[in-house]
């Protein structure tokens, strides 16, 4: 089983991204999720683009690429950008669901430290899980530099600070924008 995961890492990676988009689309069309939650998915996607694009472009053309592919990409890196931004949108929605489950019925109606902490903890945990899975399955690994120090090694790859910092800032930005986007009760 583990060898299958390593051999088909990118197919599984891109399949989950595609399934995330299709599921969110279906949930929106069938009104399982509201227009607000639909917009939050696209907010998460757009925020994901904010780091997926520069990191991928630097990786392809930079003098100090931030990551190395342990298994070559099966496609152009632009596909990775889009697919991982779908992942990001989905990860943000899982964070939204965690907030919703802890604060029903009033969620994202005003600033609450508890809601922000849920998003921050989920962001850190999900980012760490993604990096560990990638390192374990020979997908990609970040390269340590002075601006991206190694936190620890896992399966021969460095788990670095930069992705954790991104997923510390991103939930904060996401939360503040989500509060502004929330429709006010009539």
At 140-150, the pLDDT tens digits run: 999 999 999 99
Distance between CA atoms of 82 and 46, rounded to whole angstroms?
Answer: 10
Torsion, CA 117, CA 123, CA 129, CA 132, rounded to 10: -120
User: 105-142 pLDDT, tens per residue?
Assistant: 789 999 999 999 999 999 999 999 999 999 998 899 99
Q: Is the dihedral of CA 75, 66, 121, 126 positive or negative?
A: positive
d(CA 71, CA 76): 14
Quick check: 86 pLDDT over 80?
yes
Between 43-52, 53-62, 87-96, 121-130, the lowest mean confidence (pLDDT) is in 53-62
Position 186 confidence tier, pLDDT thresholds 50, 70, 90: low
The pLDDT confidence band at residue 151, using thresholds 50, 70 and 90, is very high
Sequence-distant (≥ 6) Cβ neighbours of residue 70 within 8 angstroms = 134, 135, 138, 139, 140, 141, 157
Which contiguous run of DSSP H or E holds residue 19? helix 9-29
CA–CA dist 159, 120 (Å, integer): 18
Binned at pLDDT 50, 70 and 90, residue 103 comes out as confident
């Amino acid at each position: 089983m583990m060898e299958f995961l390593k051999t088909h890492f990118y197919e599984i990676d891109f399949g989950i991204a595609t399934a995330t988009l299709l599921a969110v689309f279906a949930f929106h069309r069938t009104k399982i999720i509201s227009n607000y939650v639909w917009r939050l998915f696209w907010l998460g996607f757009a925020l994901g683009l904010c780091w997926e694009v520069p990191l991928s472009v630097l990786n392809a053309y930079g003098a100090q690429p931030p990551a190395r592919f342990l298994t070559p990409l099966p496609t152009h890196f632009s596909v990775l950008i889009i697919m991982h931004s779908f992942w990001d949108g989905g990860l943000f929605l899982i964070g939204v669901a965690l907030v919703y489950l802890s604060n029903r019925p009033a969620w994202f109606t005003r600033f609450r430290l508890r809601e922000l902490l849920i998003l921050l903890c989920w962001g850190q945990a999900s980012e760490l899980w993604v990096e560990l899975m990638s390192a374990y399955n020979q997908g990609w690994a970040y390269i340590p530099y002075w601006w991206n120090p190694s936190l620890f090694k896992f399966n021969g790859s460095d788990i670095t600070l930069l992705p954790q910092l991104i997923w510390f800032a991103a939930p904060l930005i996401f939360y503040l924008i989500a509060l502004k986007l929330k429709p006010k009760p009539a």
